[in-house]
Amino acid sequence: MTNCIIMHTRNSMQPNDLERIARQIRLRDLQAVYEAGAGHIGGEMSATDILTALYFKVLRVWPEQPKHPERDRFVLSKGHVALALYVTLAKRGFIPEEEIHTFLKPHSRLNGHPNCNKVPGVETNTGPLGHGLPVAVGMALAAKLRGATYHTYVLTGDGEMQEGSNWEAISSAAQFGLNNLTLIIDHNRFQQGAALKDTNDLAPFASKLVAFGWDVTEINGNEMAEIVPALEKRTARPHCIVAHTNKGHGISFMQDRVDWHHRVPNAEQYQIALAELSETL
C-alpha cells in the first residue's frame, strides 16, 4: 500500500508542486550551510531543481526499500554538493529530516561527500571529480547484461567535464548502446575559483556529445517545465541533458558569483537569503 501511495504522489506532481518543494529544499540547504559553517552553496542552489524533479517526479525509488532491485539509479558525480542531496533525500523520506542538523558534525553520517555505506539512497561514493559518470556507465551496462529495466541518471558539473575519465566513459556508453543512461551536466558556467570560460572551456557541450554518438537535449535547468520532460525522454542512444543553470540560483547576491562556490554567508547575508527564499513559499 505504501508503495502505491508513493507512486501515485510522484505521478501527480505538477511543475508548481515541484517548484514549491525545490524552494523548501533550498531554504533548508541554506540553513544547514549556515549552521555548519561550511558547504558548497553555489552549486547546491544550481542543482536543486534537477534533484527535486528526479526524486519527486521521475525516479522510480522506494525510500523504505532503498536497495530495491528495480529502483532507478542516481549518481551525484559532483559530490561536493552532497548537502543538497541529503536535504532532498530527507524530504523524500530516505533519512529523518531532523538529521540534517548533524551535517558535518563529529560522528555524523552526513559528510561533505556522499557515502553509500552510511546514507540510504546514495548509490556510490563520490568526491573526486570524474568518477561518477564512469560508475554510472557500469551500472547502465550491468542492467543491459542482466536484462534489468532500471534507468541510470548521473549529474556532473560543467567544470568536472574537464576530467578525461568522463570522455572515456562517454565513448564507452555510445559503444555499448546504453540507451538506459541519462547524463545531466549542471552547466552553471563556474567552477572553484574561476569561470569555466577562463580555465578549460569545453562549452558548448552539445556538439561534442553528438560527435561521440549521444542524443542531446539543452534546457533551462532551473525551469521545471523543461527539466521534467527532458529527464523522462527516452532515445535510442545514451542521452545527455545540458542544463543551463545559475550558480547560487534563488539568492540575489550569490547568483553567478564565483566566490560563492563554497563561501558561507555571514549573519546579515544569511537573513537576506532567508528572506528571499522564504517570500515565495
Q: What is the pLDDT along the chain (281 residues), one digit of tens a residue?
A: 344 444 445 678 899 999 999 999 999 999 999 999 999 999 999 999 999 999 999 999 999 999 999 999 999 999 999 999 999 999 999 999 999 999 999 999 999 999 999 999 999 999 889 999 999 999 999 999 999 999 999 999 999 999 999 999 999 999 999 999 999 999 989 777 777 787 888 999 999 999 999 999 999 999 999 999 999 999 999 999 999 999 999 999 999 898 888 899 999 999 999 999 998 66
Burial of 207 (0-12, 13-18, 19+ CB in 10 A): exposed
Identify any residues that bridge with 218 across adjacent strands, giving them in sequence order.
242
* Nearest alpha-carbon partner for 260 in 188, 187, 158: 188
- Cβ-proximal residues to 78 (8 Å cutoff; 6+ apart), any chain: 43, 47, 126, 129, 132, 155, 156, 157, 160, 186
Domain count, the chain: 1
pTM above 0.75, yes or no: yes
Report the CATH number at residue 156.
3.40.50.970
Contact between residue 62 and residue 68 where contact means Cβ atoms under 8 Å apart: yes
The predicted pLDDT at position 194 comes to: 73
Structural domain harbouring 222: 2-278
The angle at the Cα of 252, spanning 249 to 253, to the nearest 5 degrees, equals 110
